């Protein structure tokens, strides 16, 4: 599907805007205290890396099977492997909920889950599956959504 490895103008703009959004959201979270920002960094990294695994477990891989780097992963992931990955998230998210409060955690997780659902719907509708590029995009979008949800949850009464 994506045979050209050059990112082009739109890809470069997307990278710059994603980086600026992450910096802005993390700066907003750390404006008064560094703890919410550090908590969001930890939780965002952990949970956003689980999201592509959910796509791998629930969708079919498309594209060049012989030259794909994500196809072997798609063949190996199973229900128990996904459950193990989910269990790795529990300590970080439990600490996040304990240190920042349940509203912070729930808003951040809900935003990340909504982003995952949106990306899965987009890939099913447009591609009827996923590629390695889809997995990377999902991770980035879910991480930014986590930071946005954390910022919303931080202001919750």
Q: Which residue has the tokens 């920042």?
A: 100
Residue 75: predicted pLDDT: 65
Question: Residue 20: which domain range?
Answer: 8-154
Residue 130: strand pairing partners: 61
- For residue 1, tell me if it sits in a domain: no
Residue 68: predicted pLDDT: 64
Residue 10: predicted pLDDT: 85
- For residue 3, tell me if it sits in a domain: no
Say if CB 30 and CB 129 are below 8 A apart: no
- For residue 59, tell me if it sits in a domain: yes
- For residue 73 the two structure tokens come to 């992963």
Residue 28: predicted pLDDT: 92
Number of structural domains, the chain?
A: 1
* Sequential pLDDT tens for the chain (157 residues): 556 667 788 888 988 999 999 999 999 999 988 999 999 999 999 999 999 999 999 998 887 666 666 566 666 788 888 899 899 999 999 999 999 999 999 999 999 999 999 999 999 999 999 888 899 999 999 999 999 999 999 886 5
- pTM metric for this prediction: 0.88
Q: Which residues contact 126 (CB under 8 A, 6 or more apart)?
A: none
Count CB atoms within 10 A of the CB of residue 113: 17
Residue 150: predicted pLDDT: 95
Count CB atoms within 10 A of the CB of residue 129: 16
Torsions phi, psi of 38, nearest 5?
A: -65, -35
Say if CB 143 and CB 23 are below 8 A apart: no
Strand ranges for the chain from DSSP E: none
């Amino acid at each position: 599907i994506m045979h050209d490895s050059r990112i082009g103008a739109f890809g470069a703009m997307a990278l710059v805007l994603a980086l600026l959004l992450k910096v802005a959201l993390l700066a907003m979270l750390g404006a008064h205290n560094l703890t919410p920002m550090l908590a969001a960094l930890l939780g965002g990294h952990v949970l956003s890396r689980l999201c592509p695994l959910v796509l791998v477990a629930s969708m079919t891989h498309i594209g060049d099977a012989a030259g794909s780097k994500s196809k072997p992963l798609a063949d190996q992931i199973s229900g128990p492997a996904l459950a193990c990955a989910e269990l790795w998230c529990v300590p970080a998210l439990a600490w996040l909920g304990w240190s920042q409060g349940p509203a912070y955690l729930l808003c951040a997780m809900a935003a990340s889950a909504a982003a995952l659902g949106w990306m899965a719907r987009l890939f099913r509708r447009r591609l009827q599956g996923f590629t390695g590029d889809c997995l990377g995009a999902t991770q980035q979008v879910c991480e930014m959504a986590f930071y946005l949800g954390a910022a919303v949850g931080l202001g919750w009464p």
